Amino acid sequence: MLTIYSDKHRLQHGKAELIDGTLKPCFETPSRADMVLQEVRSRGLGPVLEPQAHGLAPVLRVHDAGYVEFLQTAWQRWTAMGRDYDALPKMWQIRRLRAAIPQHVEGQLCYYSMDCGTPLTAGTWPAITAAADVALTAIDQLAAGQRGVFALTRPPGHHAARDYCGGYCFFNNAAIAAQSLLDRGAKRVAILDVDYHHGNGTQDIFYQRDDVLFLSIHGDPATEYPFFLGFADEHGEGAGLGYNYNYPLPAASSVAMWFATLGTALGEIRRYAPDALVVSLGVDTFEGDPISRFSLTSTDFLRLGEQIGGLGLPTAFCMEGGYAVEPIGLNAVNVLEGFSMHQ
Ligand SMILES: [Zn+2]
């Protein structure tokens, strides 16, 4: 299987995130992608290609222009005030506050953010545009006839909505990939999100559409991040009604329960009969993950890949979460190898 990878991911290296009431070193670190790449190479998964530049047009197909402009200019505007440290928001536009977009960069940072775990840094813009190019180059390869391609995207993307960042995500790489498939002639695309956390951003982007089926298996938002989306009764809206499937599971769910739920989700994908599949590949469902509470073992990830491969669809994998850094490579590449058993 081909892997698409850019070193530019290292430019996003936040110093701290607010978690458990204190600023702690970011869980989402460059070493995550380094470990995955190392495993891709040592296991001989296949060639590793640099991404091609695709410009902002495919990004603007799924993200709000004002939001994209904010991300592009925020660091310069933030540092122009004499600040040389990462930008984090400090308030949110919650119930009964005005939804007007502030003029000041600090207000805009609050307006366009979901949480304060997602530092905007000097290297955020080059890193996120490179990650979008990684996802789009994976789609180039699918269009050229590859059956499965691995987009080693970092930072991850599935918490990024049409017009906000959060959960370490700025551009929604999987959504950009799915939209690109449609723009190249696919009629229907499915996105399967297997990260421990609900893919709230992806759901937000496609919630009113029937040309993208979105399915997410995740920790129940009643107790798990991102808390405010990802419940089982969110089915889509308007033309999108019936094209959004959430499978929230209690935090301590068994591996058997997780795979039974995967079976249900794969059944929905088969019924939808998409032209292609995008997988939001988070491996924070791993038993040793420091911020998640499912208990998949490394061997279970092989099985996950095999079952996805059994769909027989052209498939792009976009890397999402996974914070047990040492085994992240083993777990991610196990999914890809499991998938490849069907090729
Ligand atoms: Zn996650």
Asked whether the beta carbons of 112 and 163 are under 8 A apart, the reply is: yes
| Separation between Cα atoms, residue 221 and residue 326, nearest integer Å | 27
* CATH no. of 2-63+122-340: 3.40.800.20
Q: Phi first, then psi: what are they for 163, rounded to 5°?
A: -140, 35
pLDDT, tens digit, for every residue of 106-119?
A: 999 999 999 999 99
Residues 69, 100: Cα–Cα separation, whole Å: 16
Ligand 1 geometric centre to CA of 284 (Å): 6
Q: Rounded to 5, what percent of the chain is helix, strand, coil?
A: 40, 15, 45
The interaxial angle of helices 65-79 and 124-143, nearest 10 deg, is 150
Percent of the chain's residues with pLDDT above 70: 100
The predicted structure's pLDDT at residue 184? 97
d(C-alpha 141, C-alpha 134), whole Å: 11
Q: Are 192 and 318 in contact (CB under 8 A)?
A: no
Please compute Rg for the chain using Cα positions.
18
The tokens describing 105, both together, are 């960069």
Catalytic annotation, residues: 159
> 215 CA to middle of ligand 1, Å?
15
The closest alpha carbon to 300, from 289, 311, 314, 316, belongs to 289
The predicted model gives 116-138 an average pLDDT of 98
Mean local confidence (pLDDT), 23-46: 97
Say how many Å lie between the CA of residue 78 and the centre of ligand 1.
28
Cα–ligand 1 centroid distance for 65 (angstroms): 26
Cα–Cα distance measured from residue 278 to residue 292, given in angstroms and rounded to the nearest whole number = 23
Residue 189 CA to chain centroid, in angstroms?
16
Exposure of 142 in the CB half-sphere (CA atoms within 13 A): 28
pLDDT in tens, 58-103: 999 999 999 999 999 999 999 999 999 999 999 999 999 999 999 9
pLDDT band at 343; cut points 50, 70, 90: low
Q: Mean pLDDT throughout 42-48?
A: 98
pLDDT in tens, 308-333: 999 999 999 999 999 999 999 999 99
Q: What are the extents of the domains in the chain?
A: 2-63+122-340
Kindly state the average pLDDT of the residues 24-34. 97
Contact call for residues 308 and 259 (beta carbons, < 8 A): no
With the C-alpha atoms ordered 282, 288, 290, 292, is the resulting torsion angle positive or negative?
positive
3-state secondary structure of 38: helix
Q: How confident is the model at residue 150 (pLDDT cuts 50, 70, 90)?
A: very high
Q: What is the pLDDT of residue 342?
A: 75
Question: If residue 110 lies in a helix (H) or strand (E), which one and from where to where?
Answer: helix 105-111
Would you say 200 and 160 are in contact if contact means Cβ atoms under 8 Å apart? no
Q: What span, in angstroms and rounded, lies between the C-alpha atoms of 251 and 109?
A: 31
CA–centroid distance, 219 to ligand 1, in Å, is 9
Question: For residue 202, how far is its CA from the centre of ligand 1 (angstroms)?
Answer: 13
pLDDT band at 237 (very low <50, low <70, confident <90, very high): very high
